[in-house]
Amino acid sequence: MKLRTVGTLLTACVLALGAACTTAEQGDGEAASYAQPDTTAEALWTHMEEAAYTENWTLWPDKGALYMGTEPHGMLLTTYLNDLALDAVTNKAGAMSAGAIVVKENYMPDSTLAAITIMYKSEGYNPDVNDWFFVKRLADGTVEASGRVGMCQGCHAQVADNDYLFTGSLSQ
């Protein structure tokens, strides 16, 4: 009897975990409940890989792959948005909602990937910069910086009125 009860409990836990992991990146384009990753570079990267961001997320509107960039990000950039971030950009929401992820691939002039920089909005994480969590991941997978990164926060503070985003306006 006890073994059957434990098995039932384990099955219930597995089903509950599966339901909690539903994300907005579903095949039919409809947004479902959005399970937010933890604010660690590893959890965020795992979430992005599972979502297959380069295949399933959208490039920043009016920006193609390998558009001209500036320092400190690189000479060429490709910027991906998850559904929540895309919604804020296309609807001129004024700010991104919790769960929004902006991924900027940073390339050298010869189109060699140098780093991937990520902004992830996590509710309550860092109110001083509208709850943004920053990550810089080098091309070899090494995390160079993550969290409340002073250099990122300081630079992006220049555009605090645009929810700390440089790439395009979030306002009408």
Domain ranges of the chain: 1-35, 37-162
Give the burial class of 143: count Cβ atoms within 10 A of its Cβ; 0-12 exposed, 13-18 middle, 19 or more buried: middle
Mean pLDDT of the residues in the chain: 85
Predicted local distance difference test score (pLDDT) of residue 5: 40
Predicted local distance difference test score (pLDDT) of residue 71: 86
More confident: 52 or 18: 52
CA distance 111 to 71: 15
Q: Report whether 22 contacts 32 (CB < 8 A).
A: yes
**pLDDT tens, residue by residue, 8-34:** 333 333 333 333 333 334 333 334 445
Tabulate helix, strand, coil % of the chain (nearest 5).
35, 20, 45
Across residues 38-50, what is the average pLDDT?
96
**pLDDT tens, residue by residue, 87-128:** 999 999 999 999 999 999 999 999 999 999 999 999 999 999
CATH number of this structure's domain 37-162, picked from the four choices 2.40.160.20, 3.50.70.20, 3.90.700.10, 3.30.360.10: 3.50.70.20
pLDDT band at 58 (very low <50, low <70, confident <90, very high): very high
Question: Taking the model in full, what pTM does it have?
Answer: 0.80
